[in-house]
Chain A
């Protein structure tokens, strides 16, 4: 088990280097360059020398392979560099201040999705073609098909403008620091309510359909038949024997959604004015802020690889057959 994990980790290193190389190449091949936004391009005041100076500061005057080498050697010392945007702050600091809110939003969202999707999936499967199944199917597909931004605006109009129950955007009220402690917490939760609702509604469909499908397959298996023949109650058959096996594919899907946790949703973040990772990345791309883009990519790529590994390891934990197969394969 340990040896297997170690081998996977070592294999991940060349993969990671490959990923960074390709993304470095792609982002530098995109036309446009970062110096434009700082040299007063749309105003009558501009200075050609300044642009050369900025290219020099950023090292953009060197050939691409030299730039990549410089970047990698700095990265090896865990130096992600400084942002090209006018604030010139360290990339890690910029990512660091954006990451917590995105993580919080996405983890809460994922937990709600899983908590709702598993019962919905199980119930739809065990009562296939019942009214419940049909209603939830319609509901989750409506959720899947509804554009995020539209739903967000509708909810803002209803809860923010018409009813006045919830704040419309941002993370905290302007008077936040003058509120009492518990009012502060409530204020924060109220601000997160709509974004989480919107994100959850859209993500529910996928998970609950996976769950339903996987459950449908399992309940047709012979061992479920024999469990029933043993005279076990239906709740034990479904809840214990069937559910455990039906959860297997869900583990994979969950594992794959881990990197998404730090990516952030651009649409939800922009419309609710939440300063998260999604906004940071999109802004960085428009500004051609290479250090921020690359820093972000490295972190997401690393997490994807780690998440894959975790999913595989969990797999072998929950499914004895894979453990055995892995051992045989090594021999």
Chain B
């Protein structure tokens, strides 16, 4: 295996990458994984041995970061100036199937096939990524055959691409993306600290209605923080079917059993109302919030929606824990470790347990789950974790969004899989008779 500039890729590069990651001068979010490493040594030119202080399930995943070429970046990394190294922009060097050709800021990135890729030269010779901010423009480019692939919105996928000419020119794909949308409640608020209230909300919210209304059916109901179809997913957890009557009785159990003249539930004379925050620019978030508002109104809970610009939402509300409820999404990793999100130690302002969830059972399962590499054991811990989370409903899990890519029908060799379509891009090809761009 060789770097794009022809230098061999060796164990020295792996060790250099490791040293750069743990160097306090390197600003990276991925350094934490490498701090658990006890020692790294090169056995020979192409073998590296890594020792951990404790068993770590994420070990393998954490080493699949981008390796850094030692011969090019050693000086910059040593000075803590990795971000300013010219390789970042003018001449990035890796080992992958495509070579960097050109980047025009805000306009396009051009890649060309790497003839000496270790799995063989990819079939498509040249790839141009265009940057088009407006999804309406992207869609028109597709219609005019100006681009060969793009991502569609749910509306475009469902309603605007079902005519014969489009279906002939493009193939549409659909898979569950690694993102789920949820209703988060601040558990420091005594009303939401009561599990029955959260369970009542789960019963009062019709997930199907949200999926149909917001995503036109192009999403999958979430029952927990893992994607259906993955090894860690546990389908046998407590479910919360849409049931307003059940929701009302759960709320009554929790002490919300009177109503005022407006039909709002009361407890100790206080009406049940709260602000639901959503990020500006996310049409999806706003629509989800509106449907939840209507559903909760049916059981006597008054919701005010506030749409706030993203940076402000994070800094002023989420980080300061100054919120009652919020619509957000989590991106998930292939590995099931979600210690940072659910563990009770992760609640400081910059950390990710934003809702302030604390459950000793969950803490223990998270610690055990990341502490072993035996998948069967991990499966047990994470199955149990999903059961506890389903019972507790620390957040109301709503849905996993579908990724909706579309690619020109000239392109062959695409094999859809649960992780999408791009994983075998180097095997895609265009039959000779269908070539449109011949130069290069």
A residues lining the B interface (CB < 8 Å): 30-33, 36, 38-54, 57, 82, 86-89, 94, 97-98, 153, 156-157, 160-161, 164, 167-171, 174-175, 178, 270-273, 275-276, 279-280, 286-288
Chain B 301-323, CB-CB to A under 8 Å as 1, else 0, gives: 00000000111101110000000
Contact B31 A47 (CB under 8 A): yes
B89 touches A270 (CB 8 A): no
What would 10 A/B residue contacts be, using CB atoms closer than 8 Å? A36-B311, A41-B314, A53-B24, A57-B27, A88-B88, A161-B140, A170-B108, A178-B439, A273-B131, A273-B134
Q: What residue in chain B is nearest A287 (Cβ atoms)? A: B311
Q: In the assembled complex, which residues on chain A have CB atoms less than 8 Å from the CB atom of B137? A: 153, 156, 168-169, 271-273
Contact A45 B437 (CB under 8 A): no
Q: A40-B29, A42-B331, A44-B352 in contact; A32/B140 too (CB < 8 A)?
A: no
| Choice from A32, A47, A97, A286 contacting B314 with Cβ under 8 Å | A32
Q: Which residue of A lies closest to B85 (CB)?
A: A88
Min CB gap A249→B, angstroms: 37
What residue of chain A has the Cβ atom nearest to residue B178's Cβ? A43
- With CB as the reference atom, state the residue of chain B lying closest to A179: B439
Measured CB to CB, the residues of B under 8 A from A are 24, 27-32, 83-84, 88-89, 104-108, 128, 130-134, 136-137, 140-141, 143-144, 146, 309-312, 314-316, 328-333, 338, 340-341, 348, 350-352, 437, 439-440
Q: In the complex, which residues of chain A have a beta carbon less than 8 angstroms from the beta carbon of B104?
A: 97, 275
The answer to whether A51 and B83 touch across the interface, beta carbons within 8 angstroms, is: no
When chains A and B are docked, how far (Å) is the Cα of A33 from the Cα of B315?
A: 7
Q: Is the CB of B105 within 8 A of A47?
A: no
Contacts of A88 in B (CB 8 A): 83-84, 88
Contact between A50 and B314 (Cβ–Cβ < 8 Å)? no
B133: chain A residues within 8 A (beta carbon): 270-271, 273, 279
- CA distance in complex: A262, B173 (Å): 42
How many angstroms from the CA of A2 to the CA of B309 in the assembled complex?
A: 49
- Complex CA gap A46/B140 in Å reads 37
Give the A-B contact count at a CB cut-off of 8 A.
144
Taken together as a complex, chains A and B put the C-alpha atoms of A82 and B107 apart, in Å, by: 21
Of A31, A97, A167, A286, the most chain B CB neighbours within 10 A belong to A31
Given contacts A31-B315, A87-B88, A273-B137, contact A43 B440 (CB under 8 A): no
Contact of B333 among A45, A153, A174, A279 (CB under 8 A): A45
Q: Which 9 A-B pairs have the closest CB atoms?
A: A32-B311, A275-B106, A178-B439, A48-B350, A31-B312, A88-B83, A273-B132, A40-B29, A31-B316
A32 to B333, CA, bound (A): 26
CB distance from A75 to the nearest CB of B (A): 20
Are B106's CB and A98's CB within 8 A?
yes
Known: A32-B311, A47-B31, A47-B32. A169 touches B146 (CB 8 A): yes
Known: A42-B331, A164-B144, A167-B146. 13 other contacts (CB 8 A): A31-B311, A44-B333, A45-B30, A47-B29, A87-B88, A153-B140, A160-B140, A161-B143, A169-B132, A169-B146, A174-B130, A271-B133, A273-B133
Q: Which of A160, A270, A271 contacts B144 (CB 8 A)?
A: A160
In the complex the two chains form, is A32's CB within 8 Å of B106's CB? no
> Which residues of chain A have C-beta atoms less than 8 A from B437's C-beta?
174-175
Residue in A43, A52, A153, A288 whose beta carbon sits within 8 Å of that of B331 in the complex? A43
Minimal beta-carbon separation of B402 from chain A (angstroms): 18
Please measure, in the bound complex, the distance between the C-alpha atom of A38 and the C-alpha atom of B26, giving whole angstroms: 13
Return the chain B residue nearest A88 by Cβ. B83
User: What separation, in Å, do the CA atoms of A273 and B146 have in the docked complex?
Assistant: 13
CB < 8 Å neighbour of B146 from A46, A86, A98, A168: A168
Q: From residue B181, how far is it (CB to closest CB) to chain A in Å?
A: 11
CB distance from A132 to the nearest CB of B (A): 36
Q: Which A residues touch B315, using CB under 8 A?
A: 31-33, 36
Q: Which A residues touch B30, using CB under 8 A?
A: 45, 47
Closest to B281 in A: A286
Bound complex: CA A271 to CA B144 (Å): 16
A272 → B minimal CB distance (Å): 7
Question: How many angstroms from the CA of A170 to the CA of B333 in the assembled complex?
Answer: 34
Residues of chain B with a CB closer than 8 A to A52's CB: 350
- B29, B332, B340: residue with the most chain A Cβ atoms closer than 10 Å: B29
The one of A48, A169, A280 that contacts B106, using a Cβ cutoff of 8 Å:
A280
C-alpha gap A30/B315 in the complex (Å): 10
Please determine whether A153 and B136 come into contact, CB atoms closer than 8 angstroms. Answer: yes
Instruction: Let me know if B28 and A98 touch, CB within 8 A.
Output: no
Q: Verify B134–A48 contact, CB threshold 8 A.
A: no
- Residues A42 and B140 in contact, CB atoms below 8 Å apart: no
CB distance from A192 to the nearest CB of B (A): 14
B77 to chain A, nearest CB (A): 14
Q: Are A50 and B31 in contact (CB under 8 A)?
A: yes
For B88, list chain A residues within 8 Å (CB). Answer: 87-88
Q: Which residues on B sit within 8 Å (CB–CB) of A170?
A: 107-108, 130, 132
Closest to B25 in A: A53
Q: Closest chain B residue to A174 by CB distance?
A: B128
C-alpha gap A31/B309 in the complex (Å): 9
In the complex, how many angstroms separate the beta carbon of A50 from the nearest chain B beta carbon?
5
Contact indicator B28/A86 (Cβ below 8 Å): no
List residues of chain B with CB within 8 A of the CB of A38: 27, 29
